[in-house]
Amino acid sequence: MDTVKQLSARLAAGDVSAVELAQDYLAKIQAANPALNAFVELNEAQTLSEARAADALRAEGRAGPLTGVPIAHKDIFCQTGWHARCGSKMLENFAAPYDAGLIERARAAGLVTLGRTNMDEFAMGSTNESSYYGVVHNPWQLDAVPGGSSGGSAAAVAAGIAPAASGTDTGGSIRQPAAFCGITGIKPTYGIVSRWGMIAYASSLDQGGPMAHTAEDCALLLNAFAGFDTRDATSLERAPEDYTRALDAPLAGLRIGVPKEFFGEGMSDDVRAAVDAALATFRTLGARTVEVSLPRSGYAVPAYYVIAPAEASSNLNRFDGVRYGYRAPEYRDLNDMYAKTRAQGFGEEVKRRILIGTYVLSHGYYDAYYLQAQRVRRLIADDYQVAFRDCDLILGPTTPTVAYGIGDKADDPLSMYLGDIYTTSVNLAGLPGMSIPCGFGAGGLPVGLQIVGNYFDEARMLGAAHRFQQATDWHLRTPPR
Amino acid sequence: MSRANWEVVIGLETHSQLNTTSKIFSGSPTAFGAAPNVQASAVDLALPGVLPVMNRAAVERAIRFGLAVGGEVAQRSVFARKNYFYPDLPKGYQISQYELPVVQGGALTIRVGDGDKAYEKVVRLTRAHLEEDAGKSLHEDFHGMSGIDLNRAGTPLLEIVSEPDMTSSAEAVAYARALHALVRWVDICDGNMQEGSFRCDANVSVRRPGEPLGTRREIKNLNSFRFMQQAIDFEIQWQIEQIEDGHKIQQATVLFDPDTGETRAMRSKEDAHDYRYFPDPDLPPLVIAADWIARVRSEMPELPVALSARLQADYGLSPYDAAGLTASREMAQYYLDALAVVGAAQAKPLANWVMGELAARLNREERDIAQSPVTPSQLAGLVARIADGTISNNIAKKVFEALWSGEGQTADAVIEAQGLKQVTDVSAIEPIIDEVLAANPKSVEEYRAGKDKAFNALVGQVMKASKGKASPAQVNELLKKKLQA
């Protein structure tokens, strides 16, 4: 297993070229991907051309810390030279003529695209089972789900067939698969990473971010991904910052808030044990833990499953078979074309959320559902601000259980949605959140520790995670071959 | 059946295309008439992952409109999505404003009718909001298929909604004309109705006096004032007949067919869409700072209402003249430019010339006043020569024609070249009068018998004999003297 940091050093030292590194990883992907289905598109020529460009930059002395480091991109980011299928039949033939903001920045940093990773259809799902391109298998246990929606990215990193990956997180889609696969992932403050070219699921919640083995790698990658983008009106115009700056900050005096609501019913014993042990480690490192309360966190999942589908139902209107993407082969008239195209082009989970979203925005229901959910959303954000008066970071479990079996929750969407109880409130509040490996639970599957910071406090979160990872080796464990 | 027993209630919704160079949420150009889809970017096509970004210039035009109608420019307004499926609506929703529009309230003073029956009326505005236009579906030229042109998709619109304050088609048209003039006056819309830059929907209902409001029907997409008048008149008549025949009016959207002069229902309330409006999460609320509004205010031109009042107060023009001259900014500018040359004393005759001869000639040739071949200073020179008695009004028309067709640089040059100077020398006119009297003994006899008409005939003969160069006033005077002698 190699970290981004290590690869960066080897590239800088001339021990390996970007082309060699790319070839090495492509070979690993060839070997492992059939069992994992983490990648949905590979394009060796494209990858090697990017790698050659990176080597050329280095030869010219213009290499940055990430130049030549391979990365896998979630299939949700538009990227010239690649398809952007977003896990859907609807976009099977779609290739964007533009780069997403995150892709542009990755390119500018010299990162080399290994391929495009599998995901839940339109990022809707927590298991990667809703992908039109097949389920992804958890490298730790092939019959377990990798989590979702960035399941392909998480599985690829965990399996060591990509040192890092991009992901997106709307209700936990970076953190939850990171937890299930035993890797590190961060969802930044809403507005830090451009949403331009990132196919929208729920616009007010979606945020891109890095997934890798270590917090340090995530910090390096976030340096590349973050930045103001005039093409995204929700992008925040702030001075660039170095997310690695606090990696070595000592933890002495750090106040860690532990929300009592996150340790109640629904949390499995193995997760509780691992998280408790992690908190003890933080105390050993000099941090102080204080109990805090997020009294309205119980409403996060219901509010999320109103707001996200509402936005999604509108965002997905554009997939109508008129201009691009899938169109039903036979239809009687315009309305029949719309109905058949969307019935055939979307999968069950996407259709379910479109229906929910359409319902909650409908005349007569809007106030009771959408508006009410928005009020709850504000209260949840307020709760966090109250909690942050007493602490610097909030720690708890990323998920109530470790990864479950493929198919276990396929017929029970509600129980799948409830797996998001610790993550959705972070998106609703627009806060940064991350997940780091903190142990193993049932079946030897990884447990994730969630770290939530206040707005723009990514550097502090990454620092705390890094110190933890200096003292533990959960993040260095690799799945059995 | 009689209109007299009915009250008519009309409110107008007007889509005014804002004259920005680029679209409201993308950088694509807005120019009219380009080949299909060449002005549609990834954003306009609603490709996956693209996002809207607000065009400042469109907001600035909305502010200008709000100030022009005395409305409140909202410091915070919100963009909402109006969801529906149509092939020329690429995103499957239109970005518009719903609960919090950029302009609230305001009013427009309109002048209805001509002559003695003319009256002024204040029409209140409900709101004006920013939104994007859809593309166009082309149903011709594609056998069994429809073509989609997305050049227009994303063109900025200001939808201006009036209160139901109008009570006749004449008032509705007067309002639409005043609004049309105003959006051009403050330079936010080119007002080109053929190209669809200014189009109106009219909500029409009727009721018996004292009754609550009747059910309205909305006539969509009226793109000429004449059609608006016809459509509303037809609709009023139709609704009255329906009710008098014992039918109820069903809420509906109707289209006007200029070929038949009739309106016909497009869809009823039952098939009305549930647009599922909600705030667009891609666009933060539109916040307009007070200093932005202040800057726009400082750059506003004098508004037609203010100019009209000034023309009446400073130059003694009638409300009719003042309204006519302020019908468009170009007309007003033309008048003011000419007035500066000829002087305030000639304000009234100049107004008559601008709105009379000049307007009629421009109208006949379908030209804008800005493209008038007769310049303001040329017309001013002409009016000055009437004022000082050099030429009569009749001769002035000849001079005007000559200036129009470029036969001279100034009125003086035309008068000189064509020998049109008015003859005021008594010794030159007297022989002509004598000749005419001698040649028309019958008229002389009739005049003496008390027939005034005969006198006019004699004046006419003298003017004709002088080739129009005699002064009509002088001819009158001399002729009277001779006849009474």
Task: Dump pLDDT digits (tens) for A362-399.
Answer: 999 999 999 999 999 999 999 999 999 999 999 999 99
Contact between chains at B281 and A204 (C-beta distance less than 8 A)? yes
**Residue B293 pLDDT greater than 80, yes or no:** yes
Q: Which residues make Cβ contacts (< 8 Å) with residue B245, sequence separation at least 6?
A: none
Q: Is the CB of residue B345 less than 8 Å from the CB of residue B310?
A: no
Q: What is the pLDDT of residue B132?
A: 98
- The average confidence (pLDDT) of chain A is 97
**Residue B269 pLDDT greater than 70, yes or no:** no
**Rounded to an integer, what distance in angstroms lies between the CA atom of residue A3 and that of residue A8?**
8
**Residue B2 pLDDT greater than 70, yes or no:** no
Q: Residue B37 in 3-state DSSP?
A: coil
- pLDDT tens track for B306-352: 999 999 999 999 988 998 899 888 999 999 999 999 999 999 999 99
Contact between chains at A317 and B274 (C-beta distance less than 8 A)? no
Contact between chains at B53 and A202 (C-beta distance less than 8 A)? no
Q: Which residues pair with residue B29 across a beta bridge? A: B22
- pLDDT tens track for B373-424: 999 999 999 999 999 888 888 889 999 999 999 998 999 999 988 888 877 7
Q: Residue B251 in 3-state DSSP?
A: coil
pLDDT confidence tier of residue B271, bands split at 50, 70 and 90: low
pLDDT confidence tier of residue B1, bands split at 50, 70 and 90: very low
> Which chain B residues are within 8 Å of A94, Cβ to Cβ?
48
**Rounded to an integer, what distance in angstroms lies between the CA atom of residue A449 and that of residue A175?**
9
Terminal Cα distance for chain B, rounded: 64
- pLDDT tens track for B303-318: 999 999 999 999 999 9
**What's the burial of A330, exposed, middle or buried (CB within 10 Å: 0-12/13-18/19+)?**
exposed
| Tokens standing for residue A346 | 């979307």
**Rounded to an integer, what distance in angstroms lies between the CA atom of residue A64 and that of residue A276?**
39
Mean pLDDT of B450-477: 84
Nearest by CB to residue B276, choosing from A200, A316, A362, is A362
**Residue B470 pLDDT greater than 90, yes or no:** no
Count the Cβ atoms, other than its own, within 10 Å of residue A333: 8
Least Cα separation, residue A107 to chain B (angstroms): 18
Q: Which residues make Cβ contacts (< 8 Å) with residue A390, sequence separation at least 6?
A: A255, A257, A290, A292
Question: What is the count of residue pairs from A and B with beta carbons less than 8 Å apart?
Answer: 101
Using a CB–CB cutoff of 8 Å, tell me whether B56 touches chain A.
no
Q: What is the pLDDT of residue B450?
A: 82
**What's the burial of A55, exposed, middle or buried (CB within 10 Å: 0-12/13-18/19+)?**
buried
Nearest of B188, B239, B193 to residue B213 by alpha carbon: B239
Using a CB–CB cutoff of 8 Å, tell me whether B47 touches chain A.
yes
Mean pLDDT of A445-456: 98
Which listed residue (A173, A194, A313, A435) is catalytic? A173
Q: Is A28 a catalytic residue?
A: no
Q: Is A8 a catalytic residue?
A: no
Mean pLDDT of A349-359: 97
Interface probe for B, chosen from A237, A313, A314 (most Cβ of B below 10 Å), is A314
**For B307-345, b where at least 16 C-beta lie within 10 A, e where not — what string?**
bbeebeeebebeeebbbbbbbbbebbbbbeebbebbeee
Nearest of A228, A217, A161, A219 to residue A25 by alpha carbon: A161
Mean pLDDT of B110-125: 90
**Residue B48 pLDDT greater than 90, yes or no:** yes
- pLDDT tens track for B56-86: 999 999 999 999 999 999 999 999 999 999 9
Scan for tokens 């006849």, then name that residue: B483
Nearest of A211, A148, A324 to residue B49 by alpha carbon: A324
Contacting B with CB below 8 Å, chain A residues are: 77-78, 84, 86, 91, 94, 96-98, 100, 195-200, 202-204, 230-234, 310-311, 313-314, 316-318, 320, 322-324, 334, 338, 358, 361-363, 366, 370
Q: Which residues make Cβ contacts (< 8 Å) with residue B107, sequence separation at least 6?
A: B69, B70, B122, B123, B124, B125
Nearest by CB to residue A200, choosing from B49, B54, B148, is B49
Mean pLDDT of B37-51: 96
Using a CB–CB cutoff of 8 Å, tell me whether B100 touches chain A.
no
**Residue B273 pLDDT greater than 90, yes or no:** no
**CA closest to A198 among chain B residues:** B49
Q: Chain B window 308-347: which residues touch A at a Cβ cutoff of 8 Å?
A: none
Q: What is the largest CA-CA distance in chain A?
A: 70
> Which chain A residues are within 8 Å of B87, Cβ to Cβ?
320, 322, 334
> Which chain A residues are within 8 Å of B90, Cβ to Cβ?
318, 322-323
Contact between chains at B48 and A94 (C-beta distance less than 8 A)? yes
**CA closest to B37 among chain A residues:** A323
- Give how far Cα B12 sits from Cα of A114, B1, B108, B125, B166, Å: 58, 26, 12, 9, 9
Nearest by CB to residue B48, choosing from A91, A204, A362, is A91
Q: Which residues pair with residue B159 across a beta bridge? A: B15, B129
Contact between chains at A199 and B282 (C-beta distance less than 8 A)? no
Mean pLDDT of A440-465: 98
- pLDDT tens track for B192-232: 999 999 999 999 999 999 999 999 999 999 999 999 999 99
**Rounded to an integer, what distance in angstroms lies between the CA atom of residue A422 and that of residue A434?**
11
**CA closest to A77 among chain B residues:** B49
Angle of helix B441-448 versus helix B452-465 axis, rounded to 10? 150
Contact between chains at A323 and B46 (C-beta distance less than 8 A)? yes
Q: Is the CB of residue A121 less than 8 Å from the CB of residue A88?
A: yes
Interface probe for A, chosen from B267, B276, B280, B283 (most Cβ of A below 10 Å), is B276
Q: Is the CB of residue B102 less than 8 Å from the CB of residue B74?
A: yes
| Tokens standing for residue B388 | 């000082």
Kind plus residue range of the DSSP H or E element containing B158: strand B156-162
Q: Residue A68 in 3-state DSSP?
A: coil
**CA closest to A338 among chain B residues:** B85
> Which chain B residues are within 8 Å of A204, Cβ to Cβ?
281
CATH of domain A4-251+433-443+458-476: 3.90.1300.10
- Give how far Cα B150 sits from Cα of A323, A370, B188, Å: 11, 32, 22
**CA closest to B278 among chain A residues:** A361
**Rounded to an integer, what distance in angstroms lies between the CA atom of residue A43 and that of residue B221?**
51
Using a CB–CB cutoff of 8 Å, tell me whether B469 touches chain A.
no
- pLDDT tens track for A291-314: 999 999 999 999 999 999 999 999
**Rounded to an integer, what distance in angstroms lies between the CA atom of residue B81 and that of residue B282?**
10
**What's the burial of A272, exposed, middle or buried (CB within 10 Å: 0-12/13-18/19+)?**
middle
- Give how far Cα B235 sits from Cα of A199, B9, B175, B241, B260, Å: 47, 12, 18, 10, 13
Contact between chains at B48 and A318 (C-beta distance less than 8 A)? yes
> Which chain B residues are within 8 Å of A313, Cβ to Cβ?
83, 276
**Rounded to an integer, what distance in angstroms lies between the CA atom of residue A168 and that of residue A157?**
15
**Residue A63 pLDDT greater than 70, yes or no:** yes
Q: Which residues pair with residue A198 across a beta bridge? A: A77
Least Cα separation, residue B320 to chain A (angstroms): 49
Contact between chains at B53 and A230 (C-beta distance less than 8 A)? yes
Q: Please, what is the Cα angle at A409 between A405 and A412, to 5 degrees?
A: 170
**Rounded to an integer, what distance in angstroms lies between the CA atom of residue A383 and that of residue B228?**
57
> Which chain A residues are within 8 Å of B277, Cβ to Cβ?
361, 366
**CA closest to A337 among chain B residues:** B87
Say which CATH topology domain B426-484 has. Arc Repressor Mutant, subunit A (1.10.10)
Q: What is the pLDDT of residue B92?
A: 98
Using a CB–CB cutoff of 8 Å, tell me whether B138 touches chain A.
no
Flag the least confident range among A128-142, A378-392, A408-422, B377-391.
A408-422
Interface probe for B, chosen from A333, A361, A362, A378 (most Cβ of B below 10 Å), is A361
Contact between chains at B278 and A323 (C-beta distance less than 8 A)? no
The structure's pTM equals 0.91
Chain-centroid distance, C-alpha B232: 18
Helix segments in B154-303, DSSP class H: 169-185, 225-244, 290-298
**Rounded to an integer, what distance in angstroms lies between the CA atom of residue A136 and that of residue B361?**
78
> Which chain A residues are within 8 Å of B51, Cβ to Cβ?
195-196, 231-233
| Tokens standing for residue B252 | 């509906």
Q: Is the CB of residue A281 less than 8 Å from the CB of residue A468?
A: yes
Nearest of A278, A264, A292, A297 to residue A391 by alpha carbon: A292
The single-letter DSSP state of residue A444 is G
Q: Is A74 a catalytic residue?
A: yes
> Which chain B residues are within 8 Å of A320, Cβ to Cβ?
85, 87, 92
**Rounded to an integer, what distance in angstroms lies between the CA atom of residue B148 and that of residue B45?**
11
Count the Cβ atoms, other than its own, within 10 Å of residue B121: 16
Q: Which residues make Cβ contacts (< 8 Å) with residue B454, sequence separation at least 6?
A: B443, B444, B446, B447
Contact between chains at B90 and A84 (C-beta distance less than 8 A)? no
Flag the least confident range among A127-131, A346-350, A465-469, B3-7.
B3-7
Identity at B292, one-letter amino acid code = W
**Boundaries of every domain in chain A:** 4-251+433-443+458-476
Terminal Cα distance for chain A, rounded: 12
Torsions phi, psi for B119 (to 5 deg): -145, 160
User: A430: phi > 0 → left, psi -120 to 50 → alpha, else beta; which?
Assistant: left
Nearest by CB to residue A233, choosing from B46, B52, B148, is B52
**Residue B120 pLDDT greater than 70, yes or no:** yes
Helix segments in A123-172, DSSP class H: 151-158
Least Cα separation, residue A354 to chain B (angstroms): 13
Which listed residue (A5, A8, A17, A74) is catalytic? A74
**Rounded to an integer, what distance in angstroms lies between the CA atom of residue A445 and that of residue A442?**
6
Flag the least confident range among A56-70, A356-370, B128-142.
B128-142
Strand ranges (DSSP E) for A67-111? 70-74
Q: Is the CB of residue A152 less than 8 Å from the CB of residue A75?
A: yes
From the CA atom positions of chain A, what is the Rg in Å?
Answer: 21
Which listed residue (A8, A17, A88, A149) is catalytic? A149
Using a CB–CB cutoff of 8 Å, tell me whether B87 touches chain A.
yes
Contact between chains at B51 and A323 (C-beta distance less than 8 A)? no
**CA closest to A371 among chain B residues:** B278
**Boundaries of every domain in chain B:** 3-292, 302-418, 426-484
